[in-house]
């Protein structure tokens, strides 16, 4: 910090003012550019103070902190993707309560009736491919009874519990990609195994997060026993109540999430960016090919 040694000397000498706020008198100058700065423009430096422009210029050469997987460090930022996904699911549930047609029109449905006959113009095979995505944000409606309310409560709890840690370690874009591809993978397995099944829920994406938490936890040397216990418990529930729960969505999301997570966690550091970009695209392309092939099989005999 530099100051005029005798600010009161020389009554005819004009009082200096801040270069950003001309109406404010000051005798403090930036140690880097030597311009006068007022208290609002002062930024602490190793020696004295610097102006905001000099601090911004110096920060351009500072590399941002990164997580161990190469994402920008956002430890102090809220997990906005996690909260946004929870918000979308809750909004979708409110829409379900307002109109039962929401589930009818946006649930996962391949287009095949329970008698093995295709229903023209309906379902994924009928061109409603968006069902494979929209179904990820819907949940079992209250009118279905049973575990309807538990369905969304558990999924949102799991997303709230796992999401923030994964989002901060992977970064927002990678986390969102993982979530969406895992959910899509669950819908794809439903389509391949039982095109007549009607399914809703974020469970496929949630199981993808389970897999990612395990894979990334192992890579980073964390304690993965709690997630293993939770995963095994949910798999037992999945297969013990197969009539009420879509095991296809759970397994599809689990496998797809694991594939993407392995690419994120074990990519060579020198090629991390390209692997993190290409690997999810390859997985997604493979899933799309499976959907195209299955659709061709289902519609080949439809006039």
pLDDT tens-digit map of 8-20: 554 567 888 888 8
168 CB-contact burial (10 Å; exposed 0-12 / middle 13-18 / buried 19+): buried
Task: Evaluate whether residue 69 is within a structural domain.
Answer: no
* Mean pLDDT confidence for 284-295: 96
Asked whether residue 141 falls in the same domain as residue 258, the answer is: yes
Which pLDDT score, from 0 to 100, does residue 48 have? 82
Task: Evaluate whether residue 53 is within a structural domain.
Answer: yes
How many separate domains does the chain show? 2
Task: Evaluate whether residue 104 is within a structural domain.
Answer: yes
Asked whether residue 8 falls in the same domain as residue 123, the answer is: no
Asked whether residue 56 falls in the same domain as residue 151, the answer is: no
Q: How many Cα atoms occupy the beta-carbon half-sphere of 154 within 13 Å?
A: 16
Q: Residues 266-279: pLDDT tens digits?
A: 999 889 899 999 99
* Mean pLDDT confidence for 230-244: 81
Task: Evaluate whether residue 87 is within a structural domain.
Answer: yes
Q: From CA 2, how far away is CA 190, in angstroms rounded?
A: 71
Structure tokens at 179: 């979530």
Predicted confidence (pLDDT) at residue 67 exceeds the cutoff of 60: yes
Asked whether residue 120 falls in the same domain as residue 267, the answer is: yes
- Report the length, in residues, of the chain: 303
Confidence of residue 49 (pLDDT cuts 50, 70, 90): confident
Which pLDDT score, from 0 to 100, does residue 1 have? 45
Structure tokens at 155: 């999924």
6 CB-contact burial (10 Å; exposed 0-12 / middle 13-18 / buried 19+): exposed
Asked whether residue 275 falls in the same domain as residue 171, the answer is: yes
Asked whether residue 125 falls in the same domain as residue 4, the answer is: no
Asked whether residue 16 falls in the same domain as residue 107, the answer is: no
Query: Which of 122, 127, 86 is closest to 105 using CA atoms?
Result: 122
Asked whether residue 120 falls in the same domain as residue 11, the answer is: no
Which pLDDT score, from 0 to 100, does residue 294 have? 94
Active site members: 203, 250
Task: Evaluate whether residue 146 is within a structural domain.
Answer: yes
Task: Evaluate whether residue 125 is within a structural domain.
Answer: yes
Asked whether residue 206 falls in the same domain as residue 260, the answer is: yes
Which pLDDT score, from 0 to 100, does residue 144 have? 57
Q: From CA 149, how far away is CA 45, in angstroms rounded?
A: 55
Domain extent for 56 = 1-62
* Mean pLDDT confidence for 84-95: 96
Confidence of residue 302 (pLDDT cuts 50, 70, 90): low
Which pLDDT score, from 0 to 100, does residue 61 have? 62
């Amino acid at each position: 910090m530099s100051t005029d040694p005798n600010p009161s000397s020389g009554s005819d000498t004009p009082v200096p003012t801040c270069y950003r706020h001309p109406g404010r008198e000051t005798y403090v100058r930036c140690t880097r550019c030597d311009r006068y700065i007022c208290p609002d423009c002062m930024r602490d430096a190793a020696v004295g103070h610097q102006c905001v422009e000099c601090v911004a210029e110096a920060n351009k050469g500072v590399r941002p902190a990164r997580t161990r997987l190469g994402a920008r460090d956002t430890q102090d930022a809220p997990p906005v993707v996690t909260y946004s996904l929870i918000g979308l699911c809750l909004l979708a549930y409110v829409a379900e309560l307002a109109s039962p047609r929401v589930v009818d029109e946006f649930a996962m449905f391949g287009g095949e009736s329970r008698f093995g006959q295709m229903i023209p113009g309906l379902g994924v095979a009928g061109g409603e491919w968006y069902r494979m995505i929209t179904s990820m944000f819907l949940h079992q409606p209250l009118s279905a009874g049973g575990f309807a309310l538990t369905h969304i409560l558990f999924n949102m709890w799991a997303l709230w519990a796992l999401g923030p840690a994964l989002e901060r370690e992977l970064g927002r874009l990678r986390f969102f990609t993982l979530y969406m591809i895992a959910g899509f993978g669950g819908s794809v397995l439903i389509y391949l195994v039982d095109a007549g099944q009607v399914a809703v829920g974020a469970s496929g994406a949630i199981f993808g997060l389970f897999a990612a938490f395990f894979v990334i936890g192992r890579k980073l040397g964390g304690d993965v026993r709690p997630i293993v216990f939770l995963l095994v418990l949910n798999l037992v529930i999945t297969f013990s109540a197969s009539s009420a729960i879509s095991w296809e969505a759970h397994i599809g999301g689990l496998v797809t999430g694991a594939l993407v997570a392995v690419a994120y966690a074990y990519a060579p550091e020198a090629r991390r960016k390209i692997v993190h970009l290409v690997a999810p695209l390859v997985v997604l392309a493979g899933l799309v090919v499976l959907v195209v092939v299955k659709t061709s099989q289902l519609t080949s005999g439809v006039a």
